[in-house]
Amino acid sequence: MTQLQKVSPALRRPRRPALSMEPARLELEHVSLAYNGVNALDEVNLAVPHGAQVAVVGPNGAGKSTLFKALVGLLPLRTGEIRVHGQPLGSHQDCVAYVPQREDVDWHFPVTVRDVVMMGRFGRQGWLRGASKADHAAVDHSLAQMGIADLAKRPISDLSGGQQQRVFLARALAQEPHILLMDEPFTGVDVTTQETVLHLLDQLRDEQVTALVSTHDLNMAAQRFDWVLLLNRRVIAFGHPEEVFTPAHISAAFGGQALVVGGMVVVDECCAPAEEPV
């Protein structure tokens, strides 16, 4: 479907105060991944500042989901290194939380909402220890924060798309992460859930939790995020929206799928390649 998206500086929120100059909490150096000999990510170099909120944008098949899965160790790297707090990925227990796309989840699995949210605490429980009072308290708080405490005993298969999205957000929050990855959280959900996600991002900003959010909505990326990562298997541009959303960068990322006319970005995704095969 053809989308008309205007990236207008006039609509953008006032710039937030400059972030701390502490060492980046998330760093990628020369990261490459491949499927059947074809690069899915190629020489990605990136340093995300502490507490930054980053919109990850690019065409279908650009490697957005691949990037997120690599950041939680679900995919092996062909080359390069990922560091969190200056240490190799995996050195910090439950430091990075991941909210996948809803279509990647088996919603018919026989578990309740509370069971799913408790999964966010498993990394803190160990193999033989059951849930502690702190675990239950974290789950209760996350359910309340997402407005789904009344759904705790419901099977996840009974929920609407927006409710399902909030369940996985609650699971990620129960993990108490330093870095939160959200893959297309605004796709296929109701307006209430969209506002819930945006409100959550405001809360995370105040708590200095780093957030990376993939989206196809270029206008939202320009208005709601201070940082944008424009990706098409490699980093096209990374910076503030006005630095990233230029005709040259958009053309490099979207090719023939996009034109920039008078500040209007026209993106035709009907013939775009499918998202990366993961």
- How confident is the model over 243-272, as pLDDT tens digits? 999 989 998 998 866 555 555 555 665 544
Taking the alpha carbons of 9, 182, 80, 52 in that order, is the dihedral positive or negative? positive
Pick the CATH number of 1-10+25-90+179-188+203-278 from 3.30.500.10, 1.10.260.40, 3.40.50.300, 1.10.3720.10: 3.40.50.300
Q: Is pLDDT above 80 for 147?
A: yes
Q: Which residue reads 């992460």 in tokens? A: 177
**Would you state the pLDDT for residue 17?**
45
Residue 34 CB burial class (10 angstroms; 0-12, 13-18, ≥19):
middle
**Would you state the pLDDT for residue 125?**
62
Whole-angstrom distance, CA of residue 39 vs CA of residue 2: 27
CATH of span 93-177: 3.40.50.300
CA angle, residues 1, 232, 256, in degrees to nearest 5? 50
- Domain ranges in the chain? 1-10+25-90+179-188+203-278, 93-177
Whole-angstrom distance, CA of residue 181 vs CA of residue 25: 13
In this structure, the number of other CB atoms found within 10 A of the CB of residue 43 comes to 15
**Lookup: tokens for 51:** 């507490």
Residue range 119-145: mean pLDDT, rounded: 84
N-term to C-term CA, the chain: 23
**Would you state the pLDDT for residue 212?**
97
Whole-angstrom distance, CA of residue 181 vs CA of residue 205: 14
Q: Do the beta carbons of residue 31 and residue 76 sit within 8 Å?
A: no
58-98 pLDDT, tens digit per residue, is 998 899 999 999 999 999 999 999 999 888 987 776 789 99
**Lookup: tokens for 15:** 């710039």
Task: Establish how many alpha carbons lie within 13 A of residue 267's alpha carbon, considering only the half-sphere containing its beta carbon.
Answer: 21
**Would you state the pLDDT for residue 258?**
59
Cα 32 to the chain's mean position, in Å?
19
Q: How many helices (H) and strands (E) does the chain have?
A: 9, 13
Write the CB contacts of 35 (distance below 8 Å, at least 6 apart in sequence).
276, 277
**Would you state the pLDDT for residue 199?**
92
Going by pLDDT thresholds of 50, 70 and 90, the confidence category of residue 104 is confident
Q: Are strands 235-239 and 227-231 parallel, antiparallel or unpaired?
A: antiparallel
**Would you state the pLDDT for residue 201?**
93
Residue type at 182 in one-letter notation: M
Residue range 27-50: mean pLDDT, rounded: 91
Task: Identify which of 126, 196, 132 has the alpha carbon closest to the alpha carbon of residue 164.
Answer: 196
Asked if 1-10+25-90+179-188+203-278 and 93-177 have one fold, the answer is: yes
Whole-angstrom distance, CA of residue 161 vs CA of residue 105: 12
**Lookup: tokens for 147:** 């407005």
pTM for this model (two decimals): 0.84
Kind and range of the H or E element at 52?
Answer: none
Taking the alpha carbons of 156, 161, 167, 171 in that order, is the dihedral positive or negative? positive
**Would you state the pLDDT for residue 189?**
84
**Lookup: tokens for 189:** 């959900």
**Residues constituting the chain:** 278
169-201 pLDDT, tens digit per residue, is 999 999 999 999 999 998 888 888 888 899 999
